[in-house]
């Protein structure tokens, strides 16, 4: 039994070391086969009242500089259409969705992994396995007030690497928790799952069906032109 445990620990250690080494030396996304064809849809093309606050196209993010050349948000069509439905439900309350991020090229995920301290890497994806953002099936979002145009109060800021970012954080005000929980309830009803470290991050149920991509926003927009709505 002791030999078996030692062997098991050794195997796990070797695997982890290999994964880390692969991530640091990797220059291209991992290849996957038998995946659905990408159908990345620009959210604002489906509903112009969806608000964008693409922080990674500005210096207002944890990297401290713009990493996107333009402020655009894409998702695979089933996920994008689900976001539109959430947006329309919120409209009944004078609210709407504000998008912080959608599809993310793999090279940006690699950048995030390289610049984030090791003790904060639970907030970013390992490029060796890729991100659901890279598949076009993850979205970072919040709720905004349609009258003021401002985001509603939440227990933490976007991309805040603290315990307040947890979707189960019990602190903050009643209003902040109610807003966070409203967003979660609506998103889960549309087939999304919240990330356990980030109240703003949701993964669509179909993410396993898509490959990891490293195409630019401009290229994603070109690929989508001429495609009919499914």
20-38 in b/e form (b: 16+ CB < 10 A) is eeeeeeeeebeeeeeeeeb
| Domains of the chain with CATH codes | 2-224 (3.30.1380.10)
Are 197 and 161 a contacting pair, CB within 8 Å?
no
* Range with top average pLDDT, 6-15, 108-117, 176-185, 211-220: 176-185
Mean pLDDT, residues 196-217:
96
Compute how many other C-beta atoms are within 10 angstroms of the C-beta atom of residue 207: 19
66-104 in b/e form (b: 16+ CB < 10 A) is bbbeebbbbbbbbbbbbbbebbebbeeeebbbbbbbbbb
**Residues in CB range of 186: below 8 A, 6 or more apart:** 86, 89, 90
SS3 of the chain: helix, strand, coil, percent, to 5 = 40, 15, 45
Q: Report the C-alpha gap between 66 and 45 in whole angstroms.
A: 23
Q: Residue 227 above 60 pLDDT?
A: no
Q: Report the C-alpha gap between 109 and 116 in whole angstroms.
A: 11
What pLDDT, in 10s, does the model give residues 4-31?
443 344 333 333 433 443 445 678 888 8
Are 22 and 31 a contacting pair, CB within 8 Å?
no
What pLDDT, in 10s, does the model give residues 46-74?
999 999 999 999 999 999 999 999 999 99
What pLDDT, in 10s, does the model give residues 116-170?
888 888 888 899 999 999 999 999 999 999 999 999 999 999 999 999 999 999 9
For 11, the enclosing helix (H) or strand (E) is helix 2-25
């Amino acid at each position: 039994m002791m030999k078996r445990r030692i062997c098991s620990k050794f195997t796990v250690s070797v695997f982890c070391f290999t994964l880390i080494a692969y991530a640091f030396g990797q220059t291209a996304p991992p290849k996957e086969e038998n995946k659905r064809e990408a159908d990345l849809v620009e959210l604002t093309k489906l509903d112009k009242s969806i608000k964008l606050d693409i922080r990674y196209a500005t210096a207002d993010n944890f990297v401290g500089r713009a990493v996107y050349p333009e402020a655009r948000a894409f998702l695979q069509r089933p996920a994008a259409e689900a976001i539109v439905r959430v947006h329309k439900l919120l409209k009944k309350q004078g609210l709407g969705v504000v998008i912080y991020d959608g599809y993310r090229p793999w090279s940006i995920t690699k950048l995030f992994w390289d610049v984030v301290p090791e003790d904060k890497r639970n907030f970013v994806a390992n490029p060796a396995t890729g991100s659901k953002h890279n598949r076009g099936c993850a979205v970072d979002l919040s709720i905004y007030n349609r009258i003021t145009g401002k985001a509603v109060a939440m227990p933490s800021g976007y991309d805040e690497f603290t315990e307040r970012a947890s979707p189960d954080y019990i602190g903050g005000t009643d209003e902040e928790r109610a807003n966070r929980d409203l967003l979660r309830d609506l998103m889960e009803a549309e087939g999304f799952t919240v990330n356990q470290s980030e109240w703003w991050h949701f993964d669509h149920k179909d993410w396993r069906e898509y490959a990891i991509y490293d195409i630019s926003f401009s290229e994603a927009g070109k690929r989508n032109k001429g495609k009919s709505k499914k």
